[in-house]
Amino acid sequence: MLITPLIEEKAELTDGGLAPEPIVLSTRIRLARNLANEAFPGWADTPQRESVMERCFEKLTPLNALQDGVFLQISDLTDLEKQVLVERRLVSRELIESKDGAGVLIAPSQGLAIMINEEDHLRIQGLHSGFNFLRTWDEVDALDSKIEDCLDYAFSDDYGYLTACPTNVGTGLRASAMLHLPGLVMRGHMEKVVRMVNQLGLAVRGSLGEGSEATGSIFQISNQQTLGESEQQILKRLINILHAIIQQENNARGVMLEKQPEVIFDKIGRAFGILQQGHLISSQEAINLLSLLRLGVDIGMLPEEKRAKIDRMTMEVQPGHVQCTENADIEPEERDKLRSSRLREQFATFPELDFNNIQWIPNPQTDTEHGTNE
C-alpha cells in the first residue's frame, strides 16, 4: 500500500513525537493559502486543478522540510487508505471527497503536511503532541515563508491572505488543541465550559451529545476569527483560554479524587478489565475505555511511559487502522474481534493498577507556555 510507511513509522501522535502530557493531547495549526490569479479549487475546472497541483508538487517537493516525505495524489489511493489518512488527521474528509487534482505532501515525522486543492490551494498544517503552540507556529511559519519563495500567494493589503471562504481570510490561521477532559465530563461541567469558550469567540467541536459528552471525553477547541488580529494575538488568546480550561479540569479531577475516589477507581478498574478480557469491542467503546486508562496514568495508577502506548492504541483502534493492519476490507463485527484481540495482547503486558499510590499534582507540565516565551 502507498501509505504503509506512514503507519509503520513512529509518528508525532503515535509514540514518536514529543512526550505526551496530561490533558492536552495535541496542538495543531493550519494556514490557508492560495495562488495568485488562479480560481479557487471549488470553482476551478479539472484541468485548472490539475495544473495547480502539478505546479505545487513541482515547487514544494524539493523543500527541506519535506525531504524524504510522502507525496500522494488522492486519486491513486484506495478508500481504506483515504480513511486511514483521515484518522491520522493528515488530511480532511473534504480533501478525500474532492474531485480530481487533489493531493497531500507529508513530512516524515507527520508533524507537517500540506493538502493541495482542498477548499484552498494550500492548507499547511503543523501537528505536535502536547501543548506546543509556539513551537508548532514557528515550524508552520517557516515552511510558509519557504513556500512563498517559490509560489506567488493571493494577498491583499486590506484583507491579507485571500481564501475561498471569507471565514478564513486574513491570517488564514486556525489553531486548535485536543483536550482530554474526563474530570469536567464526570463532574457534569462541560456545558458550562462550552458556554464560556463560545462566549470568548472560540469553537468547541465534537459529537457533543447533550453538550457534555464526546467520545473519550475528547474535545477540540479552536479560534474562529482570522481577520483583524495578528497570528500572535490569536494564539495568545487561545493559549490563555486553554490554560483556564486546564485549570478547571485539574480542579475537577482533584475534587473527584478527594470526594469520591471509588467512582474514578471503579470506572478505571472496569475499563482495564474490559480491555484485558473483552472479545467484541467497537472503536467508540475502545476509545472511551482508553480515555479512562489515560486518566489512570495521569493520577499515578499506571506508569508514566504507558501514556504514549495508550495514545498509540487510541489511534490504532479506529476502523480504518484495524483494517489496514490486516490489509483488507473487514466487516464491522470481524473488526471488533480483531480490535479486541490486539487490545488483549497489548494490555497483557501492563502492570496491575495501583490504587494505593495516587499522585495528584495538578498542572505539572502545562505551564511552560504561560505567556513567558513570547
Binders of another protein among residues 88 to 117 (CB under 8 A) are 89-94
* DSSP secondary structure of 295-352: HHHHTTSS-TTHHHHHHHHHHHTSHHHHHHHHTS---HHHHHHHHHHHHHHHHHTSPP
- Measured distance CA(219)–CA(205) in Å, rounded: 6
* Shortest Cβ 44–another protein spacing (Å): 8
Chain positions 20 to 49 lying near another protein, rule: CB under 8 A, are: 28, 30, 34, 36-40, 42-43
Q: Does 188 bind another protein (CB under 8 A)?
A: no
Q: Does 258 bind another protein (CB under 8 A)?
A: no
* Shortest Cβ 180–another protein spacing (Å): 11
How many Å is the Cα radius of gyration of the chain? 21
Three-state secondary structure string covering 201-250: CEEEECCCCCCCCCHHHEEEEEECCCCCCCHHHHHHHHHHHHHHHHHHHH
Q: Does 71 bind another protein (CB under 8 A)?
A: no
Q: Does 332 bind another protein (CB under 8 A)?
A: no
Comparing CB distances to another protein, the nearer of 54 and 148 is 148
CB under 8 A: which stretch of 71-79, 102-110, 152-160, 272-280 binds another protein? 152-160
Q: Does 300 bind another protein (CB under 8 A)?
A: no
Task: Give the interface size with another protein as a residue count (CB under 8 A).
Answer: 77
Chain positions 225 to 244 lying near another protein, rule: CB under 8 A, are: 225-231, 233
Chain positions 161 to 180 lying near another protein, rule: CB under 8 A, are: 161-162, 164-167, 169-171, 173, 176, 178
Burial 11-38 (b: 16+ CB within 10 A, else e): bbbbbbbeebbbbbbbbbbbbbbbbeeb
- Measured distance CA(55)–CA(116) in Å, rounded: 10
- Measured distance CA(81)–CA(96) in Å, rounded: 10
CB under 8 A: which stretch of 71-79, 214-222, 243-251, 323-331 binds another protein? 214-222
* Shortest Cβ 259–another protein spacing (Å): 26
CB under 8 A: which stretch of 63-71, 72-80, 155-163, 350-358 binds another protein? 155-163
Cell of 80: 481504506
* Shortest Cβ 349–another protein spacing (Å): 27
Q: Does 353 bind another protein (CB under 8 A)?
A: no
Q: Are 269 and 217 in contact (CB under 8 A)?
A: no
How long is the chain?
Answer: 374
Q: Does 316 bind another protein (CB under 8 A)?
A: no
* Shortest Cβ 203–another protein spacing (Å): 6
| DSSP classification of residue 28 | E
Q: Does 255 bind another protein (CB under 8 A)?
A: no
CB under 8 A: which stretch of 76-84, 209-217, 337-345, 346-354 binds another protein? 209-217
Using alpha carbons only, give the angle 354, 355, 360 rounded to the nearest 5 degrees: 95
Of the CA atoms within 13 Å of residue 131, those in its CB half-sphere come to 26
